[in-house]
Structure 1
């Protein structure tokens, strides 16, 4: 079933889910532990939000060992990608601050898990 505007805006209306989407737009691919560190949230909470985003078709995941990595889906409609892009541009300073926090925490930040 194709992504609808209502689904997209419901997903992005939650601050944690919006932060996840914008951080993935900035960083490309991140594992769950990176997102937990960056957003200072528990793994169950982040995983629940990731599941909602994945089920709506916004995210793709891949498993590498015991780690699951997430990225924005290249298959989302162009109108939805434009909404994400504009949201990212409007929050760029905040997103880059979080990305720097990941780098200083020695998280993967590049899709290569080094989580312990």
Structure 2
């Protein structure tokens, strides 16, 4: 991640889907791929492709939990990149918080577990 340039960061964040993923992860901390798909209402292949691009540049990290993969923002990104993401989040905080609350609400109706098929 040491080689992250502003050009790479802004190219990643210039895509609406990737920006939405980053903003969701900023608010939620960590999300399963099925939760991201549900919030963004996009196909699994499209979301997976964008997650792979974000992972390749070092903006996000993943971890496997059984057959599910969970994503989170990388704590290793440069401070300047984290600051850009934070400012973008603050500009849309209400919308993003509402989206994450919907995930939490859905988990509450399913016993606290994500419903991934």
Q: TM-score, normalised by structure 2?
A: 0.90
Q: Which residue of 2 aligns with 1:59?
A: 60
Q: For residues 66-101 of structure 1, what are the alpha-carbon distances to aligned partners after superposition, in whole Å with 9 as ceiling and x for unaligned?
A: 111000000000000000000000110110121122
- Segments of 4+ moved more than 6 angstroms: none
Task: Tell whether the 8 Å contact from 2:12 to 2:54 is kept in structure 1 after alignment.
Answer: yes
**Pairwise CA distance, 1:115:** 2.6
Q: Which residue of 1 aligns with 2:19?
A: 18
**Pairwise CA distance, 1:113:** 4.7
**Pairwise CA distance, 1:2:** 1.3
Q: Which residue of 2 aligns with 1:31?
A: 32
Q: Which residue of 2 aligns with 1:2?
A: 3
Aligned length: 112
Task: Tell whether the 8 Å contact from 1:67 to 1:113 is kept in structure 2 after alignment.
Answer: no
Q: Which residue of 2 aligns with 1:86?
A: 87
DSSP-derived class of the 1:2 partner? coil
**Pairwise CA distance, 1:114:** 4.8
Larger radius of gyration: 2
Task: Tell whether the 8 Å contact from 1:60 to 1:71 is kept in structure 2 after alignment.
Answer: yes
Q: For residues 30-78 of structure 1, what are the alpha-carbon distances to aligned partners after superposition, in whole Å with 9 as ceiling and x for unaligned?
A: 0100000011111111000000000000000011111110000000000
Q: TM-score, normalised by structure 1?
A: 0.90
Task: Tell whether the 8 Å contact from 1:25 to 1:72 is kept in structure 2 after alignment.
Answer: yes
Aligned-partner Cα distance in 1 for 2:80–2:56: 19
Stretches of structure 1 lacking an aligned partner (at least 5 in a row) = none
